Structure 1
Amino acid sequence: MIHNIDNIIARILSGESSSDDFLKFSEWLQMDEKNRTEFCQLKDYWDAEVSYSNHIGQALELKRIEEKIGKNDQRKKNRQLWIRVAPIAAVITLFLLISSVFYLQHEKESKPIEYFTYISGNHISTFTLPDHTKVTLNKNSKLTYTNLFGEKLRGVTLTGEAYFEVTKDPSRVFEVQMDDAAIRVLGTKFNVNTNLQNDIVATLVEGCIRFESGEQKVQLSPSQQLKFNRKSRKVGVENVETSCFTAWKDGLIKYQSLPLGDVVKSLEQLYNVKIAILNPKIKEIIVSGSFSSEESIEETLDVISGSLPVKWEKKEDVFYIR
């Protein structure tokens, strides 16, 4: 019996678990079928009654859940869930593959659907999908697919930014789903960024991709970039130097003839910080250059201030450029 498993389960359910919790929890699930059944009951009640955003006493809440499970038999029959979490060791980072199996019980369908979710955290991570497509996931991004991947469609869902080297398969389309938009390909190399405030940006390196949103369908050729505004629903296509938009996967930030304001936005995304430019005219300065993404935000701002007539300072959690 794993010590303090009740507390570990409570942290798993509340979203406050550590990687060590995941390891112990996975081990506990594999020990006995009864453990999986018990977690199904706990998870079913938690989904019905407990908000993930509530900060509550974990041990107390778990006890309350266990006491009330018996009163929720009907809800338990509607859905069962178990989660298996496995850490994957990379060269310099811990990368988590979270696999969740949802048993959807319907009158005519009872096939389990397994969801695999890759979360990159604070590091760039690379992995291979079941069809041998290579994916490089940028920092603070997430990609999900199911065990139905490849049966009729090679579908994934992306939040954040990723670079895809899609294995060619004329019989099965590869699709990247992003909210109410999608990119469909057969075999190609392209980059997708959904992190921008209102835009989805797709950059094609090789092959051909088709962007779809509602009735809009746009096909891209190599070295073209598409920008889709989620609010206005407008689509724009232009020719670009693709290496500027894919250099991140090699640990570089590269920009060519961009306004400083756009460069700052990319730095905010990369370092997950807030940067404010106090002088609006500074935003329009056109810059080109590259630097390592392994450098700290302070080192990066030092490079910028050493090359341009600007200075920076940090107050509380905000970096100011003037």
Structure 2
Amino acid sequence: MYTRTLAALALSVGLVQASAAADVELTLSHWVPGTHPLQTLGMEPWAQSISDATDGRVKITIYPASQLGAAGDHYDMARDGIVDISFINPGYQPGRFPIMAAAELPFLFANAKGGVRGLTEWYKQYADEEMGDTYFCMAISHDPGTIHSKTPILVPKDVEGKAVRPANATEGRFVSLLGGTSVQVPVGEMREVLARGTADMTQSPWESLYIFGAADVVTHHLDMPFYASINVFTFNKAKLEGMEAQDRQVIEDHCTPEWAETMSSGWADAESAGRDKIAADSAHTLHKPNAEQLQLWKDAAAPLTEEWRAAVSAKGHDADAIYDSLIEHLKKYDSFAG
């Protein structure tokens, strides 16, 4: 009897230990402030939903503001297992992700919410080709951003001779085509380069000027949807593959086009509200191009698409098929600006 009791107790303890061992704690690292709507309205509800769906077996701890590494290092951090989940901007590493760079081309996105659904669905076809050493979860973005300047800006010539902090490598190339100088730094360093005089202009969505403290430095704004800054959530592959099948399925169920829209929605709304805030502030001036001036911008941007096609073709990809597929997916969700 005593032996049976000990055996039953040992089995019970073993089951408890096995259950405890199956619990998973994941680290999510990013480089915007912890008060950013991307975290408060996006990452935190997403992490809670994963915890709820796994009955608490999977817990995600969020580390904001580059606590675990610089913005440009986040893809490698996920790949190498320094963190389990990374929020990355592929455009911070020029040339590394040429397929994804198609989404950085100006004047593609009409809005963020449908745009990221189309973007995530589109890129899942290609993620293994250039992010295959991690698990691509989803792509997200803010509502289209624009150029903000210390001096008036309305047409492409206004960029000539100016130093501009671009949103990504593609936009940096655009600055060069316009006769400006690109000052490529992450958004967290935006205010510093503007305040020091290293940059005369910056690309940014609207509310981010307040979030990153630059609204008092740049007071002239090009009032048009200009570009989308593409971001990605990606997982360390070994960590994901080592999870129990049921919990891994929950993660995959939270890496969908629908979740991309959910993750982006609060951020998109906040950035859109930032425009209204700036428009109501007498210290700021919005410069809205007319149809002729808008065409000048589009004509100036045209070489970027051809350069992108050449770069992708040089990697052995079918550039026309990739670009056409992106446009098709944006149209599917009513988010193509063309």
Scaled to the shorter chain, the TM-score interval is under 0.3
Query: Of Structure 1 and Structure 2, which has the larger fraction of its residues in strand?
Result: 1
TM-score, with length taken from structure 1: 0.25
| Greater relative contact order (Cα < 8 A, sep 6+) | 2
